[in-house]
Copies of this chain bind each other. A is one copy, B any other.
Amino acid sequence: MEAKRRPGRSRKTEVGEVRTLERGLHLLEVLSEAETLSLSELARRTELSPSTTYRLLETLRRRGFVDWDEGKGLWKVGLRAYQVGSAFLTRGGLIEAAMPEMEKLVDELNETVNLAVLDGNEVIYIAQVEGRQLIRMFTRIGARAPIYCTGVGKALLMEHSEAEVRRIVGAGPFKPYTAKTITTLEGFLETLKEARQRRYVLDDEEREDGVRCIAAPIHDNRGKVVASMSLSAPTTRVPDERLPALGARIRQAADAVSIRLGWSPHLTPG
């Protein structure tokens, strides 16, 4: 029921919108996306006045959430932010469950393995184990990427209904990153459908030329897809003939994580 309220004028501020805090958090976010920024640049990007930016940063600094490089006059994310953020790891147990399997994969195949979750209409990489190859991947923990052109993204959505997929990724067309990027919703849905049978999915140079990813979804104890795991490697090291074996391996690793989370194979309906 609606509470009586001054007529003609709805509330200005939604509940749970504390502007000062939002601004501070936004500063942190912007700062975390760039390696390092000057105050004026931060003020520009957050559209805050320099004075406000200064005071908020100063507050963040006192608490150790950002650091200030005296010499260069640049701001960086601080130790306390790292410390606080690390608490996320000891939470659901997802990362703890996944790391050992990821490490096994890397030991065995010597390619970089990533773990990602859904965040709005993007994926976020939340853990990574790097292969010892010279060629390293570009992604890093905390980085975001589109859903439609990444292995992890596809794996996250492959068990969703068409309606849900449409709601999440939109109707398209999608921005192409390479010549092979799937740019239409129809094409994307088609790929997901195929992948569903195999229970793993391929990103074939759709995000980055020369890079293939093989990915599979991870389920929690109630069968819901909560994350996905992918192996990324230069196309030359993932020829078509290896796909079935590699796919099966990734799928098996992802299932192993799911099982650690309490999932039973029969939980996922066909």
Binding site for B on A (CB under 8 A): 15-18, 20-26, 28-29, 31-33, 35-36, 54-65, 76-91, 117, 119, 124, 126, 140-142
> In the complex, A86 Cα to B125 Cα: how many Å?
11
> In the complex, A140 Cα to B15 Cα: how many Å?
35
Distance from A37 Cβ to chain B, minimum over Cβ atoms (Å): 11
Distance from A14 Cβ to chain B, minimum over Cβ atoms (Å): 9
**Contact check: which of B25, B84, B140 meets A77 at CB < 8 Å?**
B84
Copies in the complex: 2
> In the complex, A57 Cα to B22 Cα: how many Å?
11
* Contact present for A77 and B88 (CB under 8 Å): yes
* Contact present for B82 and A83 (CB under 8 Å): no
Residues of B within 8 A of A26 (CB): 63
Residues of B within 8 A of A126 (CB): 79, 82-83
Distance from A97 Cβ to chain B, minimum over Cβ atoms (Å): 15
Distance from A175 Cβ to chain B, minimum over Cβ atoms (Å): 22
Query: Which B-chain residue is minimally distant from A119 (CB atoms)?
Result: B79
Residues of B within 8 A of A31 (CB): 84, 87
Query: Which B-chain residue is minimally distant from A28 (CB atoms)?
Result: B84
* Contact present for B56 and A21 (CB under 8 Å): yes
Q: Which 8 A-B pairs have the closest CB atoms?
A: A85-B85, A16-B58, A82-B88, A32-B87, A86-B142, A20-B20, A21-B24, A83-B142
Q: Provide a sorted-by-A list of 6 A–B residue pairs whose CB atoms are within 8 angstroms.
A: A17-B59, A17-B62, A76-B88, A77-B88, A86-B140, A86-B141
Given known contacts A56-B18, A59-B17, A82 and B89 CB-to-CB distance under 8 angstroms:
yes
* Contact present for B85 and A22 (CB under 8 Å): no
Residues of B within 8 A of A35 (CB): 87, 90-91
**Contact check: which of B25, B55, B81 meets A16 at CB < 8 Å?**
B55
